Structure 1
Amino acid sequence: MHKVAEPTARYAAAPEPAPERHVRLFRNGANQAVRIPKEFELPGSDALMWREGDRLIIEAVKPQHPKGSPAPLLAALDEMAKLGPIDDEFPDFDAGLLPLDDIDLERD
């Protein structure tokens, strides 16, 4: 009998989607609206919406950090740490070039 490997965190299955719910559409001024049930609630206060055929897709927007915030850099460093060490040698860009002349930094 073949043994199937357990899913790793990187390839683990997405969480079970919430069961579908029948919702009613209503008017809010000139706009059509829908109440989003608690189990479909999105985080934050902004979302993106688009159409794919007969489907209406609403997706949460990731929060924007203030300019100069270290949060995006820290998130990128966390993602790079998950990659682990790189075994490749750093390329020698100077190979084949003539040596540089000495520079005299003393002023007379």
Structure 2
Amino acid sequence: MLTERHVRLFKNGRNQAIRIPREFELSGTEAIIRKEGDRLIIEPLTRRSLLGLLAGWEPMEENFPAVEDLPAEPVEL
């Protein structure tokens, strides 16, 4: 697979644009772009599920105080 290819930049309204060759197409419909020095890095946006996000977190070392589990106060309607 090719790892680089010469492309041309062009204007699209007030934005600069680049046509991405087929062999470099990204999956999905959204991407993240960031600048590192003179380089632009474009990565596909991957949405993680809440379970996937929580699974990647480190356990907390903090001890939480005990909370008394009181029944709800009655409310007159």
C-alpha displacement of 1:18? 3.0
Shift of 1:19: 2.4
TM-score normalized by structure 2? 0.59
Match of 2:22 in 1: 38
Measured in 2, the distance between the counterparts of 1:32 and 1:46 equals 17
Mapped to 1, the partners of 2:3 and 2:43 lie a distance apart of 17
CA displacement 1:37-85 (0-9 Å, x = unmatched): 11111110110001011101001110355xxxxxx53x58xx8xxxxxx
**Residue identity in the other structure for 1:62:** T
For structure 2, list consecutive stretches of 5 or more residues without a partner in the other structure: 56-77
**TM-score (ref. length: structure 1):** 0.43
| SS of equivalent residue, structure 1 residue 39 | helix
Runs of 4+ in 1 over 6 A off after TM superposition: none
Whichever of the two has the greater Rg, that structure is: 1
Distance across 1 between alignment mates of 2:47 and 2:25? 16
Q: What RMSD in Å do the two structures reach over aligned CA positions? A: 2.2
Structure 1 alignment gaps of length 5 or more: 1-16, 66-71, 80-108
Partner letter of residue 23 of structure 1? V
Structure with more of its chain in strand, by fraction? 2
RCO comparison, higher one (Cα < 8 Å, 6+): 2
Q: Percent same amino acid among aligned pairs?
A: 56
Q: Is 1:51 matched with 2:31?
A: no
